[in-house]
Structure 1
Amino acid sequence: MDKINLGRTGPSVSVLGLGCMGMSGMYGPADRAESIATIRAALDAGIDLLDTGDFYGMGHNEMLVGEALASRSREDCLISVKFGALRDPAHQWNGYDARPNAVKNFLAYSLQRLRVDHIDIYRPARLDPDVPIEDTVGAIADMVKAGYVRHIGLSEVGADTIRRAAAVHPIADLQIEYSLISRGIEDNGILATCRELGIAITAYGVLSRGLISGHWDPAQKAQGDFRNASPRFQQGNVEANLQLVEALRKVAQGLDATVAQVAIAWVLAQGKDIVPLIGARKRERLQEAIGALALRLGDADLAAIEQAVPKGSAQGGRYPQAQLAHLDSER
């Protein structure tokens, strides 16, 4: 597994990361034993970056990751944690809290659930509109000094916020959605700002939550699956989006690859400073994703992919409008 440096000041990481969110019910029920086996298989394959959030399953995901890592050396992996998203007993979303005292409180609980003494990359899940980013990053910086955090990251914030955060403390990476059908960071100054400041991109949603994986079946949607409310999966949009997938499938067949592998390889081809987070919940899907590393897309391949899935061709937003309104990265 090749490795790169996560930004100018971050750690060395594998060129693929494992996003663990889907193992805690966000896409409907998941198999606990298979989830743990998938995390361990990722580590065995050389993937050392594991991404989680303290609100995934209200702590369930962190405990799952902690269990999977219990038999491993702490140095075998880098743990990235998002914090600050609030939930209620009905599992609904209830805003964000990134006050300095809240930062330290969330961190304490994450360390306990993960069974570790430090977190490698700690980041607010979203910008708290009531708290200056300088205050939030400053509080995490205090935890860096205390040894509980190694590096600071950001998530779904815009160019101005990135600059303000980086003025307080070095930022290793920005976690943000980036895929063939989610390319906003190319045009809104976010990617350019990160590159100017030496901040890496950890790209989530590289398969658009399964939509461009080549495996999506509308019958897959289950109770509790947040794709039930995602605009791109709604009737009228999903049919158009799946037509893009079929066009991409023709390109993939010419490369002797799967649709998912081509979609992942496209993200990898966008720069050495971009690390795709693979949201595999099963070992089978993990192995398929790792196969993307064997693809070396040339100019002709990239042109064929662009023709199959033109920029801006997806139907529907990446989140419902009410959620987009709260994304600093969309302003």
Structure 2
Amino acid sequence: MSATISTLLLDWYDGHARALPWRAVPGGALPDPYRVWLSEVMLQQTTVAAVKPYFAKFIERWPTVEALAAAPEEEVMAAWAGLGYYSRARNLVKCAAKVTEMGGFPDDEVALRRLPGLGDYTAAAVAAIAFGQRAVVVDANVERVAARLFAVEEPLPGARKTIREHADAITPEARPGDFAQAMMDLGATLCTARDAKCLLCPLRESCAGYARGNPQLLPVKTKKKPKPRRAGTAFWIERDKAVWLVKRPGKGLLGGMRALPDDGWTARGDGDGEAPLSGGWQGAGVVRHVFTHFELELGVAIHAGDPAMPEDTGEWWPLERLEEAGLPTLFAKAAQLVLANRE
């Protein structure tokens, strides 16, 4: 059965593979490990559509791993701004430096896993796609395809061990990278989270979920708990057509990024983002942002006069070049709110 599944899927992939800028042609020469690694790091918890422009920008600016290793971390963080999960960007620089020091990417999964920021999934993906090594690559799309293909009814996350075993059983020795990408494409285009286009699926006749008539109900997911809500205030300080930006601490959420000064977000606990203001500060509105573990309502305050400067070390950034500051999405929203109120 495993041979049949891999053959059917690879045949389908040869004619239906998504054209993505980091991929090689199905069945062709192996792609550049740098491009594979960069794309996989960017794609963690991020959509393909969101990643494409960032990938193009990084490749144009830093076309090789050596070029990325030589880049100042601040520039890489600014270029990453808006993509989220900023620890990935910091690990990107560390990993590029390590790979450059080693003279190139190692070609096996175990060695790849030792690099900064590479977990089990990314190491397996790079080993299979860039080096043609047999590795079991399981992302969210593969997880869904395997759960339906083998009718895994145990709820996630407990089912992940079983799903991985099934994925291992059907991963071929030949073309493992194409097989992994074929599983990803099948999950992204036909066997989607909201639908199961079974009549178009090359694995329909081998699919236990289809045979049972309920593939769309798999994988079973436990109900998520509501995210806690936090509130805080960001401060817009402007002089001579420039805004005061600070650099956040290197560790922690949005670490090392330029940002507006704020009150730490947790000062009021749960709230509506509208904190009482005094000393000449006036509310300009509220922006909302969802992080991995909580939701934030951030009130934006502007000063009617010339406020006392915060103690944080910062810099005056020209408003006409604000896009170049690389503000993370939360603070970019806050800046857009202030500037939109003037129009």
TM-score interval for Structure 1 and Structure 2 normalised by the shorter chain: under 0.3
Larger fraction in strand: 1
- Bigger relative CO (Cα 8 Å, ≥ 6 apart): 1
Instruction: Compute the TM-score of the two structures, normalised by the length of structure 1.
Output: 0.23
**Which protein is bigger by CA-based radius of gyration?**
2
